[in-house]
Amino acid sequence: MAQHAQHRNNQQPSKQEDLKSHTRKLWVLATVPFIMVLGNSMLIPVLPKMMKVMHLSLFQVGLLITIFSIPAGIIIPFAGALSDHVGRRVIMTPALLVYGIAGLGAGISAWIIPHPYPWIMGFRLLQGIGAGGTYQLAMAVAGDMFQSEKRAGALGTLEAANGLGKVISPIAGSALALIVWFAPFFVYGLLSFPIAAGIWFLIKEPKNQKVEGGMSQYWKGLATTFKTKTGSILTTFLGGAVVLFVLFGVLSYLADILEKNFGYGEFTRGLVIAIPVLASAVMSYISGTVLQKRLAQWSRPIVVIGMGLIALAMVIEPFFATTNPYLAIGILVIQGIGTGSVLPSINTLVTSATSSKERGVVTSLYGSVRFFGVAMGPPIFAMAMTHRYLTFWGAAALAAVTAVLSWFFINEKLMLPKNLRGGGSGGGVRTMSQAQSKTDKKSRSPVR
């Protein structure tokens, strides 16, 4: 008995050290979604200035967002599948370097080339390729490290970091544009290089990352996952895409309206745009951390309610978007709350749907549809300049349909392991190798 107690006491410090180590790694991982969101959000309030300087239309300047997001969406699944076999940081580190170098290239082009638009577009495309190997792999690492209710909290932290980036980036972009309109491009390089170093030197992964049986077993496991969970997975993917489609579409439209209709300058636009995004970030933190013990089992109703709030905001917004900026922003706060509710819940569902051996490609497919949603938002919402009600009400209908599909097709019993469904407290944090062996066994059965 005494020996057993002694052994238990000897084990306790190692668990505490493991928790501290995972917490440090989580904060390093949180810098990845933070910098990734700068890729688009920091440019949103600067788009009207870019339109004037480079003599572009709203559609053309919106393509600066699209051309970044589409290649990222295409690259993400390949990066995710490769990371399942060679490791996450081996993909994330060079991707961050490409992201930063391309940002510097865009800034230098704008600085020294008389007509820089084609060059900026080219570097934005390259930057999007770099972005394809980052945020979703950070989610996969967090899913590998954390189990039980701690996973919801970890993913909520990452989504909150992403939301914090959305809050800071329009303000930072606006402030930098007061110096010179292309200054935001240089920030990507200044931030991405130290973050890449942090990922490479501080994130450690299990040595045995390959699936037993090789690629055939890997694809067989993926096929089983998608076959048994098709409705839930596709619906969560749709939810992530719709939320970000509406968010970035509305923000790009709002940036243009604030200048044309109300005469707001760059910095003021950044502050105003940050308000609904702040609501989203705060809600992401609450959903993913404060409510982490109950979030998983409430994931489906949270998604439905969040999508309903977004739909409601889109129905009301066109009545005030061009006449009353205060009411317009207040309504978009409702949208932000909905966005911050939906994303952490969907993140938990997606990262828990499969084992750590296959998590990289599944989270990356999810990341692809998120980026495609971001890519389509600004150019489609550009139509709101001439068809405001049609555009906003179309977005409302899309959000409402997604809410209905979520209610009928998301199945927590299929997507989540039992300890997450029940919000149990058993063993909140485990090492990657310990979590991996237990989760791998569970993920092979059709129902968990």
Query: Please, which residues have CB within 8 angstroms of residue 316's CB and are 6 or more apart in sequence?
Result: 331
Q: What ranges in 42-87 are assigned the alpha helix state H?
A: 47-54, 58-86
Both tokens assigned to 51: 């339109």
146: helix, strand or coil: strand
For the segment 38-50, the average pLDDT, to the nearest whole number, is 86
Is residue 296 very low, low, confident or very high in pLDDT (cuts 50, 70, 90)?
low
Question: What is the rounded CA–CA span in Å between residue 320 and residue 161?
Answer: 30
Domain locations in the chain as residue ranges: 19-202+221-424+434-443
Q: Which one of 182-191, 224-233, 261-270, 283-292 scores highest in mean pLDDT?
A: 182-191
Backbone φ and ψ for 79, nearest 5 degrees, come out as: -65, -40
Assessment of whether the complete model's pTM goes beyond 0.75: no
Note the helical H segments in 229-324.
230-260, 266-285, 292-295, 299-316
Nearest to 417 by CA among 444, 396, 391: 444
How confident is the model over 180-209, as pLDDT tens digits?
999 999 998 889 999 999 889 888 765 544
Sort 2 into a burial class: Cβ within 10 Å, 0-12 / 13-18 / 19+: exposed
Looking at the structure, give the CATH architecture of the domain made up of residues 19-202+221-424+434-443.
Answer: Up-down Bundle (1.20)
Q: How far apart are CA 368 and CA 374, in angstroms?
A: 10
Percent of the chain, pLDDT > 70?
Answer: 78
Instruction: List Cα–Cα distances, 363 to 28, 273, 358, in angstroms.
Output: 19, 29, 9
Residue 425: per-residue pLDDT = 37
Phi, then psi, of 358 in degrees rounded to 5: -120, 0
Are the C-beta atoms of 149 and 425 separated by less than 8 Å? yes
Contact 131, 95 (CB under 8 A): yes
